[in-house]
Structure 1
């Protein structure tokens, strides 16, 4: 039964149980859009479009779980006076950790080795060699908070770091390569950490993968949209690149089944930021931003 003493909050999409429980502790949580309240919650993967904004005229604040803003129509929210918060910073270190984990999974074949032992193959055969990471070049596409955290880790394990992005950052101690294909050519592992959106859609295409080459590996913890998946599948199936570690896909969770059949791919379910610590920090950030809006305190309103 609705609690008239608490403000109502609309869920625009399903959210994890821990977030729903935390929101329910403070708000009258609803999924009914017939009488929409002024507060709502979404996720980076669901986003918020102009049509939804038009259908919710009472909406004044949307809290987004996640750092990505590529599926949120910020100009439309701004035009309608709807504040939008999200959860940057809190997931940076865990996503960077996972990028390195995927790199080890596909380059040093840790996931494949686990399957090899579990299948009972060790008693009758030996795995073929993996590839050394120490001394190799890690190319990073996107040198924001997450890209820089990945770079620190890659350098810490003895890799040479180079990177690509829209603008050089002279203060960083890593080589800047303005041409993505050239970065792919000199990289042993190419890690994608750029934002999603129209500017980066299909950025890693067949030409970039060809430049990465038959001994190169791709790791994607950015968005599935930044890679031409048809070109990636062809490269993986034909040996155009050595392998890939993928946490994101063009269609989630219904990824192309051809990925599942490939032994040279480490697959993850958009899991890079999912740790107990990040979950707690994200929820705390969302609750604090909602409270700040209600009490007129400042918060990071990305639609302002």
Structure 2
């Protein structure tokens, strides 16, 4: 019997075709469609594919009596009620590892663009301003990069930055044993005081809300740049806007926002801010990998085997 999948995230047609070939797909990519799908089909749903931002609640789990697998498309799962799923005997998995390289590439692209002021230099050329009238911007060699959250993605970011000659430090809840020469800092503010630039790569949730706040930004200093590819909640947007306006830091490059999917209004008019639409983990290769990973987890569950990427 074909299993019924509630799909809560938008997926390109070429990748959705992989799901359509295997499951009866109920497509519900927005709040209205989601509510309608649950009202009409809750009793039929075997599988749910969502992501960390969109999530799936305890109340929604409770109305799906056949549900056996709740899956996050990417690595994040902060808005999935994992405890409620487990209490109901529902297996839970995520897409750990499927888009790590894509996110790390995007983080380095944002950092390079911010430190080298690529948008500003492009605007200058279009305005007829040549290099002699522009300030000089630093290159990466010898700069200190602080990574907040040295997990799988954080390590890939650090490796890429090290290849550019950057010196790596990091902040985690506890030090890791596999970090080579990277320096450990037990507080984010201490890391910021040491670093020239910060990349936020930590999981979202209450424990990391505003881990980059006014104190951390002040410690980073006037030459520092901040990149966030984690969750919007990790940076205090108001504090960031104030620091940028006052020149207390040099620039910011963000893929995620506290207000998303709405843009961060306080940052929109600032010339030293680069914004992308929560796209760091999206590439043809990575999205296909997330879908294939979900299918592999569903197949493993059907066979009574261990999930590939369990939570």
Q: Return the TM-score normalized by structure 1.
A: 0.92
Number of equivalent positions: 298
Contact 1:209–1:240 (CA<8 Å) still a contact in 2? yes
Pair 301,55 (structure 1): closer, same or farther in 2 beyond 3 Å: farther
Q: Which residue of 2 aligns with 1:35?
A: 41
Cα offset for 1:224?
0.5
Contact 2:96–2:309 (CA<8 Å) still a contact in 1? no
Give CA deviations for 1:229-287 in whole Å, capped at 9, x if unaligned.
11111111111211111111002120222322111011111111112221221111111
Determine the C-alpha separation between the residues in 2 that align with 1:18 and 1:81.
32
DSSP 3-state at the match of 1:35: helix
Contact 2:116–2:138 (CA<8 Å) still a contact in 1? yes
Cα offset for 1:126?
3.8
Contact 2:146–2:196 (CA<8 Å) still a contact in 1? yes
Cα offset for 1:57?
2.5
Determine the C-alpha separation between the residues in 2 that align with 1:18 and 1:62.
23
Q: Are 2:44 and 1:12 aligned? A: no
Give CA deviations for 1:52-83 in whole Å, capped at 9, x if unaligned.
11222221112221110111111111001111
Contact 2:225–2:249 (CA<8 Å) still a contact in 1? yes
2:226 aligns with one of 212, 218, 221:
218
Q: Which residue of 1 aligns with 2:191?
A: 183
Structure 1's unaligned 5+ residue stretches are none
Cα offset for 1:28?
1.3
Contact 2:51–2:77 (CA<8 Å) still a contact in 1? no
Structure 2's unaligned 5+ residue stretches are 28-36
Determine the C-alpha separation between the residues in 1 that align with 2:122 and 2:294.
38
Q: Which residue of 2 aligns with 1:285?
A: 293
Pair 66,75 (structure 1): closer, same or farther in 2 beyond 3 Å: same
Q: Which residue of 1 aligns with 2:215?
A: 207
Contact 1:74–1:302 (CA<8 Å) still a contact in 2? no
Give CA deviations for 1:142-185 in whole Å, capped at 9, x if unaligned.
11111111111111111111111111123322111112211101
Contact 1:15–1:43 (CA<8 Å) still a contact in 2? no
Q: Which residue of 1 aligns with 2:276?
A: 268
Give CA deviations for 1:18-62 in whole Å, capped at 9, x if unaligned.
442221121111242223222221122201111211222221112
Cα offset for 1:124?
10
Contact 2:70–2:85 (CA<8 Å) still a contact in 1? no
Contact 2:5–2:26 (CA<8 Å) still a contact in 1? yes
Q: Which residue of 2 aligns with 1:164?
A: 171
**RMSD, matched Cα:** 1.9
Q: Which residue of 1 aligns with 2:33?
A: none
Contact 2:154–2:201 (CA<8 Å) still a contact in 1? yes
After TM superposition, list the pairs within 5 Å mapping 1:1-304 onto structure 2: 6-31=2-27, 32-33=37-38, 34-36=40-42, 37-117=45-125, 119-122=126-129, 126-173=133-180, 174-300=182-308, 302-303=310-311
Cα offset for 1:125?
8.1
Q: Return the TM-score normalized by structure 2.
A: 0.90
Contact 1:200–1:226 (CA<8 Å) still a contact in 2? yes
Instruction: Detail structure 1 runs of 4+ shifted over 6 Å in the superposition.
Output: none
DSSP 3-state at the match of 1:140: strand
The structure carrying a bigger helix percent of its residues is 2
